[in-house]
Chains A and B, each alone.
Chain A
Amino acid sequence: GAVVSQHPSWVICKSGTSVKIECRSLDFQATTMFWYRQFPKQSLMLMATSNEGSKATYEQGVEKDKFLINHASLTLSTLTVTSAHPEDSSFYICSARDPSGSWQFFGPGTRLTVL
């Protein structure tokens, strides 16, 4: 099956710093990728839809200036958490939509801890 990778798998940073998370589709081209956030004991919450070559579409309540998304190529999307604070500590998961449009393949997730 299709593989999506994320890097890093976990990161610890100080409050006020920025953290970049990469999401790559390894064996297919993904014009659309999704970024999710999951707090402990809660379901996945869609943060934004990332479209290659255009601006990301953010869900209501997600600050676009804080969570910067760049989808510069058909196999790479990045999420940058700017000026991270402890409340941003969460599990961030990306997924990539396959060319047929019906399937989403998930990355392994990135555990962010902000001290």
Chain B
Amino acid sequence: AQTVTQSQPEMSVQEAETVTLSCTYDTSESDYYLFWYKQPPSRQMILVIRQEAYKQQNATENRFSVNFQKAAKSFSLKISDSQLGDAAMYFCAYRSAIEFPNQFYFGTGTSLTVIP
């Protein structure tokens, strides 16, 4: 089974600054998808960004971008111009493109604090 590792249980960032959350994964597959989810205090899981493994270009969604290093099996999330509303738990997730049935594999999460 695939494993997803988030080695930073907690991170903090000053408002308006940039922070990077780390994620590594272990797989023998060449085709897969990676996701970052945000879970604010309401506990509603929200998709932040998605990356297709076959794409070399890093995904970007407004202030959120990823650094996808396929050979290193690394998938970090960069949050620019951090805002108070970014404070949340962030989960990295992996989904195989070829496995059936499709399971999602989640990391243990990183708790992000935004300091005013």
Do A and B associate with each other? Answer: no
